[in-house]
């Protein structure tokens, strides 16, 4: 997508409290990781609804829980809808998706009612599809792995730790190891948790891959400027992130024009 990198270590733990700009970017950076797929893949299609929660250093909730929905088609296309709380205190819904058939990634920005569409080459498609939740990689098959059952699925406990923090997930092998429960802890102790509350098998609703009605296509630079005008002192893309996003956007526009 726009800034997805590496694992789902959830640097959103730190960024979420800064408001929709940092929160949305954090989600785009590494909130969810989607399994490897390719054009023509025959993957299990499903939709999950879940609850996200952030906890501060005092172990108190940073703000009310956030509802999110993740959906995947059998060709690997995925959609993520989540609630974001901006610096003005309002909560809004963000939609982002990768569409394999159209070869695009789309991200909505509700404060400015904008859409960013990045056109993809076939070569770039795999990385966009892999930049979400980690699919089963064999660790879930460990003989000493812990198991439990939830929502009718066998879950396996997998953990990891690196410089960005620690992460514990209960993944469902039957859902390509989608994390049904997850806790990510930053080095300073702040935590981000998520818990799936509902699983629906089958092709997701088509409207999960349609940009919100009334939103206008805009570049990252235009969105950043409008965001600052609507919420004085706030920034949608912090630091050098704006230039990175704009470069990717421009590259996609040139590709589409060919």
CATH code, 83: 2.50.20
Alpha-carbon distance values, 59 to 150, 165, 188, 189, 198 (Å): 25, 16, 12, 9, 26
Q: Which two tokens stand for residue 169?
A: 């997930």
What pLDDT sits at residue 9? 40
Between these two residues, 111 and 125, which has the higher pLDDT value? Answer: 111
Q: Which two tokens stand for residue 146?
A: 């812990």
DSSP H or E run through 13:
helix 12-15
pLDDT tens digits, one per residue of 118-170: 999 888 888 888 766 788 888 888 999 999 999 999 999 999 888 889 999 99
Task: Give dist(CA 35, CA 252) in Å, integer.
Answer: 23
Check residue 31 and report its DSSP letter: T
Task: Give dist(CA 141, CA 45) in Å, integer.
Answer: 22
Is the predicted pLDDT of residue 17 greater than 80, yes or no? no
Total tally of structural domains belonging to the chain: 1
Mean pLDDT of 80-103: 88
Is the predicted pLDDT of residue 104 greater than 70, yes or no? yes
pLDDT tens digits, one per residue of 197-256: 999 999 999 999 999 999 999 999 999 999 999 998 888 888 788 999 999 999 989 988
Which range of residues forms the domain containing residue 108?
A: 12-131+192-257
Is the predicted pLDDT of residue 27 greater than 70, yes or no? no
Is the predicted pLDDT of residue 48 greater than 80, yes or no? yes
What pLDDT sits at residue 24? 37
Angle CA 120–121–126, to nearest 5: 85
Closest residue by Cα to residue 246 from 237, 255, 256: 237
DSSP H or E run through 119:
strand 114-119
Flag whether 178 is in a domain.
Answer: no
What pLDDT sits at residue 236? 86
Flag whether 145 is in a domain.
Answer: no
How does the average pLDDT of the chain come out, rounded? 82
Flag whether 168 is in a domain.
Answer: no
What pLDDT sits at residue 63? 63
Q: Which residues of 212-237 are buried (b: 16+ CB within 10 A; e: fewer)?
A: beebeebebeebbebbeeebeebbbb
Mean pLDDT of 85-104: 88
How many other CB atoms are found less than 10 A from the CB of residue 155?
24
Flag whether 181 is in a domain.
Answer: no
Closest residue by Cα to residue 223 from 6, 24, 5, 11: 24
What phi and psi values does residue 257 have, to the nearest 5 degrees?
-80, -15
Beta bridge partners, 165, equal: 162
Classify 42 as helix, strand or coil.
coil
Flag whether 61 is in a domain.
Answer: yes
Flag whether 162 is in a domain.
Answer: no
Task: Give dist(CA 191, CA 196) in Å, integer.
Answer: 17
Contact 188/57 with Cβ under 8 angstroms? Answer: yes
Flag whether 28 is in a domain.
Answer: yes
CA 18 to chain CA mean position, Å: 17
Mean pLDDT of 21-32: 36
Flag whether 165 is in a domain.
Answer: no
């Amino acid at each position: 997508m726009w800034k997805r990198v590496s694992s789902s270590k959830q640097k959103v733990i730190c960024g979420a409290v800064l408001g929709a700009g940092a929160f949305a970017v954090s989600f785009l950076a590494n909130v969810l990781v989607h399994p490897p797929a390719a054009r023509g893949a025959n993957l299990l299609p499903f939709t999950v609804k879940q609850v996200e929660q952030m906890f501060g250093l005092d172990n108190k909730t940073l703000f009310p829980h956030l509802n999110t929905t993740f959906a995947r088609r059998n060709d690997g296309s995925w959609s993520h809808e989540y609630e974001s709380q901006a610096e003005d205190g309002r909560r809004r819904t963000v939609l982002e998706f990768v569409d394999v058939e159209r070869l695009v990634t789309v991200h909505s920005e509700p404060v400015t009612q904008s859409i960013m569409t990045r056109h993809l080459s076939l070569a770039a498609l795999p990385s966009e599809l892999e930049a979400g939740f980690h699919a089963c990689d064999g660790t879930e098959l460990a003989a000493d792995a812990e198991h439990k059952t939830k929502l009718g699925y066998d879950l396996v406990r997998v953990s990891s730790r690196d410089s960005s923090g620690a992460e514990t997930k209960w993944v469902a092998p039957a859902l390509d190891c989608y994390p049904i429960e997850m806790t990510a802890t930053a080095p300073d102790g702040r935590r981000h948790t998520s818990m799936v509350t509902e699983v629906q098998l089958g092709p997701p609703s088509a409207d999960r891959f349609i940009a919100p009605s009334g939103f206008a296509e805009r570049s990252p630079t235009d969105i950043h400027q409008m965001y600052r005008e609507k919420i004085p002192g706030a920034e949608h893309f912090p630091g050098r992130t704006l230039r990175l996003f704009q470069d990717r956007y421009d590259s996609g526009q040139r590709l589409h024009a060919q």
